[in-house]
Amino acid sequence: MKKFRKVLDGLTTSSPGGPIGSPSCGSAAGTPTAAPTPREIDVQETLISENFQLCKTVRHGFPYQPTALAFDPVQKILAIGSRSGGVRILGRPGVDCYCQHESGAAVLQLQFLINEGALVTACADDTLHLWNLRQRRPAVLHSLKFNRERITFCHLPFQSKWLYVGTERGNTHIVNIESFILSGYVIMWNKAIELSTKTHPGPVVHLSDSPKDEGKLLIGFESGTIVQWDLRAKKADFRIYYDEAIHSVSWHHEGKQFMCSHSDGSLTLWNLRNTTKPFQVTFPHGKIQKDGRKESCKPILKVEYKTSRSSEPFVIFSGGLSYDKAGRRPTLTIMHGKAITVLEMDYPIVEFMVLCETPYNNEVQEPYAVVVLLEKDLIVVDLTQSNFPVFENPYPMDIHESPVTCTAYFADCPPDIIPILYSIGTKHKKTGYSQKEWPVSGGTWTLGSHTYPEIIITGHADGSIKFWDASAITLQMLYKLKTSKVFEKPKPGEGRAAELVEEDPFAVQMVSWCPQSRIFCVVGISAHIILYRFSKYDANTQIVSLEVRLQCEPEDVISPSENENNPCFTEPGSHSPQPHHQHPASPGNRTPEGMKDSVPCLKVKDRMVRVPPGYQSDLVIQLLWVDGEPPQQITSLDINSAYGLLAFGNCNGLAVVDYLQKTILLCMSTLDLYGATDPYQRLTRSPRRNRQSTSGLTELTDNQQSIDMERSKSPTSESRENSFSRSRSSSVSSIDRDTKEAITTLQFGESYGRKSDALPTPCLWVGTSLGVVLLIPMSIPTDQEERMEEAVTIGPSGAVLMLKGSVLRFGFLDCMGALIQSPYEVWRDLNAPEDPDRPRRRKLVHFSPSSSQDACGEGHLAVVCSERQAKVFLMPSQSCLFVHNITESSFVLRADVVSVCNSVCLACFCANGHVMTLSLPSLRPLMDVNYLPLTDMRIARTFCFTNGGQALYLSSPTEIQRITYSQEMCDNLQEMLGELFTPIETPEAQNRGFLKGFFGGNAHTFDREELFGEAAAGKASRSLAQHIPGQGGVEGMKVAASGVVGELARARIALDERGQRLGELEERTALMMTSAETFSKHAHELMLKCKDKKWYQF
């Protein structure tokens, strides 16, 4: 608890005319400074550094660039590995865990220790890792780094502690899962194949133990060689040399035959009675041509051969289509008896896995589903129904359905908003899914006590908007809105949109949402804004369109024309932008030279349209082309439902629209907003150099708003994924006339537009890219009838505040330090049937700056944050109370005044990856964490803070990463996360019967420990692989290695360990005795040898 009493004398105020670099209130880096005032401001700050800690909470979406798949059939959890070294483990909805290998190496293969609560990962850096899944945040227990060989394939038999590892050289090594140490038992490639064979068989592509006998290991080499290795006899039972490369092998459960998939699109079935040639060869998709030859087919990358009691076996494979069918989509083929079903996929298949009822490979498999991992989707097919429907995916795997271009995050929403969005969204859901429950149902998750309504909004490149329920660290789609439906479809190769942004003319740049009034605003890349109102009823509507000419020209600065760039109030003028329904481009819209003029980029539908319940478009605002030049993209937006006003700006100027009366109130260039109070000495220069130039100011070239980004590219363009430039100019005392001063942030609120104001009035706060803050007071009629008929008066007051760098965010506090919310209108459904007894009236909720004060008109505090610094001003005197220079070497990308721990703070995210929090109002640094080493455009565009100490960003093009900077939430995170492991008894093996057990081989008498243990096999070469202990700890290792639970089991483990230690002690004693005897013997031999030698003979 720290109490601030600052004395302010009103004499030292921020001088509008002074240079940015020298604010009159002082700016020592990192040191909050104060200026005096005639009375005391008493703010008790409760936040301290111990309230803050940064940690990742949960990751949503589809794993980016997936590489591997695994499933635990007993625990029923699924693991997906990725190219960046990430592992996602999924169970029932709510059970969703993300792990990351420190090396960042791609995951090649995943193997669950079935029902053990552990997972083995094989990575591209030739390292094996053992993960403990018996904790909510999995950790690596062991790692084993291969030094001389590259890992190509791994196989772990069910209930075995010995992992088979195949390598690129064709060798097979064996790893003890408990100790993660290599066994001395190695199957060398030259022993596996015949000595007469002159060529190397290639890398190991398959390993599996025979279902009939665990002592037999089937090894598949890439070249087409297959060897069954007798582990006991250390020799090959049989060798198959096939002339087509092998991609995969799958056993029949009886262990008498197996199937291979090959590079020529064929499947071969081999019988162990005769391995000289395949029992059957089929080309499932290879038809015989007219000349009698088979069609050449693509490789079958994987095949699975699964048996069923009640029907014919299933043969499921990926690939194998004929080459001549160009443009065919990737396929999964299901052969069931004589029926062949080909399932076409939207994306290439990375991996698939058949889910079976039993974990034992020597029992009838009973397949019930197949999981298909695609490059950009995860699909599960129901095999129990003849039409093979897919299951409805409960995870949010379609965030990237169209690339995400912007995000917004709202914590603590009104509780009624989520159910109503969900009820409307469910009406538009797809049908035809399997009626069965989602088969990946493992783990446990309960709704924690620390939950509140949260909504995430994503804007996409195709113009769609998605609302997601993000409560309790889960993510579920609520409602989807398509903004492109407002416009006519642009015809290919023609139209204004085609010339402007051919790829994504409807791409969403930013959104603004008022959850209380349910008014929603979308800004698109084609310089358009759509305002939506929410209704539970469908309606027939005519979309109202306003067109705004917002262009600042160099000539206008030197010699302004009569009407151009003057404030546009409600009186009409010859060049003033006027509200009208949009009209198509006509010859009159073009200049004599054929240049476009006064036409928008897109054409709004000009007919009556029927709109379903949900968000319905109320108004479309479009910026116009001017003299053959496209409109500049909109860089800032704010909407206020209580005022009925919408403000937006770009690098040319500012416009304010009354969306209730559908009129333009203000439309002027940034320079004209200043009037006589321009803080810069603008340099005169010759006109008409380059209309779009931004020379003289680096703030505009790499601004986070991407003001001058190439108009021809969509926001999904790869060129934007580059990292930020770190050099930015800190202050500018004189500005080139041709420089565009962009409007970078806007905020409506009750404030004091002038120093002389005694009471707060509606104001618009305007921040620019040159660090200037302008206050624009407004007069809004309060009566409902008057508000709809009388004009809102609005005009710049001339009040100017200054900061270093582009202004990013405003926030308002009362004089007790509490956050003042913007006024809003309570939602009302305009399409609801009229009730004559209860006429619909606007209900406004105001939060006056003086509401928490005893005396009225005591003023309020304004928090202003720019790319470089934060300042707190006292209104109406405009005195600067506190200033803090946030960064000198980088710049702030995102800043927000947020509530956390029943207080407020300023949260900042910098381009160098630092996340910071500052106390309010004193701007004391509370937290500064170097979170991300490098920030790219995707993260910068999507990073956003919200209340409750939470934030999010797009960690990859397909995934949303949520983080918290609240210590309280970090402490409660364990409770909120799901449990991956649940104690389940391993199903018992079926009773095989006496005769079958007698004649069916000695599968259950095979003791791997005898063969692979150190006593029998010896130690492996130390240089071959290096053991690296993990961070999981010894306790976690014991838990992961023991496949049983309960006190009895733990007691037995303790006894085993004690017995093992006694045994080890006995062995060590015996070894020491042997060593002593050997030493004594050698010493005696040496003595006899040297007995008769003279000293000079040594």
- Give pLDDT tens digits for 452-499: 899 999 999 999 999 999 988 889 999 999 999 999 987 765 544 444
Is the pLDDT score of 99 beyond 90? yes
Facing residues of 809 across strands? 865
Take residue 192 and report the two structure tokens written for it: 């596996």
CB 126 within 8 A of CB 141: no
Sheet containing strand 339-344, edge to edge, reads: 300-306, 314-319, 331-336, 339-344
Supply the mean pLDDT for the chain: 81
Predicted confidence at residue 685, as pLDDT, reads 40
Q: Specify the amino acid at residue 476.
A: Q
Residues 142-158 have a mean pLDDT of: 94
Q: List phi, psi (to 5°) of 976.
A: -80, -30
Assign 718 to helix, strand or coil. Answer: helix
pLDDT score recorded for residue 882: 95
Average pLDDT over residues 230-234: 91
Residue 705 to residue 744: CA distance in whole angstroms: 8
Residue with tokens 């402490």: 971
Task: Quote the tokens at residue 21.
Answer: 């670099």
Indicate the pLDDT class of residue 548, thresholds 50, 70 and 90: very high
Tokens linked to 1060: 């093992």
pTM for this entry: 0.82
Within 10 A of 362 (CB to CB), how many other CB atoms are there? 24
**Closest CA relative to residue 304, chosen from 344, 342, 247:** 247
Closest CA to 481 of 430, 421, 541, 410: 421
Those residues with Cβ within 8 angstroms of residue 775's Cβ, 6 or more apart along the chain or in another chain: 751, 752, 753, 754, 763, 764, 765, 766, 797, 799, 801
The answer to whether the beta carbons of residues 346 and 329 sit under 8 Å apart is yes
Q: What angle do CA 1040, 1045, 1046 make, to 5 degrees?
A: 140
Question: Which residue from 203, 173, 176, 167 is spatially nearest to 187, judged by alpha carbons?
Answer: 173
**C-alpha pair distances (Å), 383 with each of 44, 306, 317, 337, 895:** 64, 11, 14, 13, 51
pLDDT value of residue 673: 85
Q: Which of 89-103, 711-725, 996-1010, 1084-1098 has the lowest mean pLDDT?
A: 711-725
Lowest-pLDDT range of 508-522, 688-702, 1071-1085: 688-702
User: Which residues neighbour 39 within 8 Å (Cβ) at sequence distance 6 or greater?
Assistant: 8
Please report the pLDDT score of residue 139 as a whole number.
Answer: 94
* Segment 227-249 mean pLDDT: 93
Which residues, including other chains, have CB under 8 Å from residue 62's CB and lie 6 or more apart?
A: 376, 377, 378, 397, 398, 399, 400, 958, 959
Count Cβ atoms below 10 Å from residue 407 Cβ, excluding itself: 21
pLDDT value at position 31? 46
Q: Mean pLDDT, to the nearest integer, of 756-767? A: 91
CA–CA dist 386, 228 (Å, integer)? 36
* pLDDT value, residue 68: 97
Taking alpha carbons only, the member of 1046, 1045, 981 closest to residue 76 is 981
Q: Give CA–CA dist 512/410, Å, rounded.
A: 11
Q: What DSSP designation does 579 have?
A: B
Q: If pLDDT is split at 50, 70 and 90, which confidence band does 706 have? A: very low
- Among 38-42, 189-193, 271-275, 341-345, which is the least confidently predicted range? 38-42
As a whole number of angstroms, the distance between CA 876 and CA 279 comes to 92
pLDDT at 325: 67
Residue 173 has what pLDDT? 95
572 within 8 A of 579, measured Cβ to Cβ = no
1070 vs 221, more confident: 221
Query: DSSP alpha helices (H): ranges in 505-659?
Result: 554-558
Q: Would you give the DSSP letter of residue 1016?
A: H
pLDDT at res. 1093: 58
Cβ atoms within 10 A of the Cβ of 235, count? 10
Tokens of 477: 């789609």
Sequence-separated (6 or more) residues with CB below 8 Å from residue 790 = 781
Q: Can you name the residues that pair with 422 across neighbouring β-strands?
A: none
**CA separation for the pair 638, 619 (Å, rounded):** 15
- Specify whether the CB–CB gap between 943 and 953 falls below 8 A: yes
Q: Which tokens sit at 741?
A: 């001063």
For 750-778, what is the mean pLDDT? 91
How many CA atoms are closer than 13 Å to the CA of 12, on its beta-carbon side? 15
CB–CB of 57/962 below 8 Å? yes
Distances (CA, A) of 105 to 100, 122, 458, 904, 1016: 10, 10, 30, 41, 35
Strand duo 544-548 + 614-623: pairing:
parallel
**3-state secondary structure (DSSP) of residue 789:** helix
534 pLDDT band, cuts 50/70/90, is very high
Q: Please report, rounded to a whole number, the percentage of residues in the chain having pLDDT higher than 70.
A: 77
Let me know how long the chain is.
1098
**Sign of the four-CA dihedral 363, 369, 371, 372:** positive
pLDDT at position 16, please?
A: 36
CB contact burial 904-921 (16+ within 10 A = b; e otherwise): bbbbbbbbbbbbbbbbbb
Peptide bond into 876 cis (omega under 30): yes
Top-confidence range, 107-116, 568-577, 1010-1019: 107-116
Nearest to 627 by CA among 572, 685, 552: 552
DSSP structure class, residue 491: P
Rounded to an integer, the average pLDDT of 202-230 is 94
pLDDT-derived band at 502, boundaries 50, 70, 90: low
Range in 184-188, 317-321, 407-411, 1014-1018 with the lowest mean pLDDT: 1014-1018
Distance CA 673, CA 746 (A): 14
pLDDT single digits (tens) 371-386: 999 999 999 999 999 8
Cα distance between residue 170 and residue 716, in whole Å: 44
Cα(54)–Cα(929) distance, rounded to whole angstroms?
Answer: 7
What's residue 893's pLDDT? 94
Residues 6+ apart with CB under 8 A from 317: 261, 267, 284, 300, 301, 302, 303, 304, 332, 333, 335
Please report which confidence band the pLDDT of residue 978 belongs to, taking 50, 70 and 90 as the band edges.
confident
In whole angstroms, what is the distance from residue 866 CA to residue 523 CA?
22
Q: Is the pLDDT of residue 867 over 70?
A: yes
At 707 the pLDDT is 30
Percent of the chain at pLDDT > 90 equals 55
pLDDT of residue 849: 54
Q: Are 1028 and 123 in contact (CB under 8 A)?
A: no
Cα–Cα distances in angstroms (integers) from residue 606 to residues 492, 537, 544, 623, 741, in the given order = 20, 22, 8, 17, 35
| pLDDT reported for residue 1059 | 57
Local confidence band at 426 (pLDDT 50, 70, 90 cut-offs): confident
**In sequence order, what are the residues at sequence separation of 6 or more whose Cβ sits closer than 8 angstroms to the Cβ of residue 418?**
453, 455, 469, 471, 478
Torsion sign (Cα): 105, 111, 113, 117: positive
- pLDDT attached to residue 1021: 75
| pLDDT tens track for 299-332 | 999 999 999 998 899 999 999 988 876 678 899 9
What is the per-residue pLDDT for 493?
56
- The confidence score (pLDDT) of residue 172 equals 95
Straight-line distance from the first to the last Cα atom of the chain, in angstroms, rounded to the nearest whole number: 83
Q: Tell me what the mean pLDDT of segment 147-166 comes to.
A: 94
Return phi, psi of residue 263, to 5°: -75, -15
Question: Is the pLDDT assigned to residue 993 strictly greater than 60?
Answer: no
Give the pLDDT of residue 629.
87
> What pLDDT does 637 receive?
97
Structure tokens at 88: 């996602």
Half-sphere exposure at residue 1045, Cβ-oriented, CA atoms within 13 angstroms:
10
pLDDT band at 975 (very low <50, low <70, confident <90, very high): confident
The answer to whether the beta carbons of residues 724 and 822 sit under 8 Å apart is: no
Q: Mean pLDDT lowest for which of 82-86, 280-284, 503-507, 856-860?
A: 856-860
pLDDT tens digits, 869-905? 999 999 999 999 999 999 999 999 999 999 999 999 9
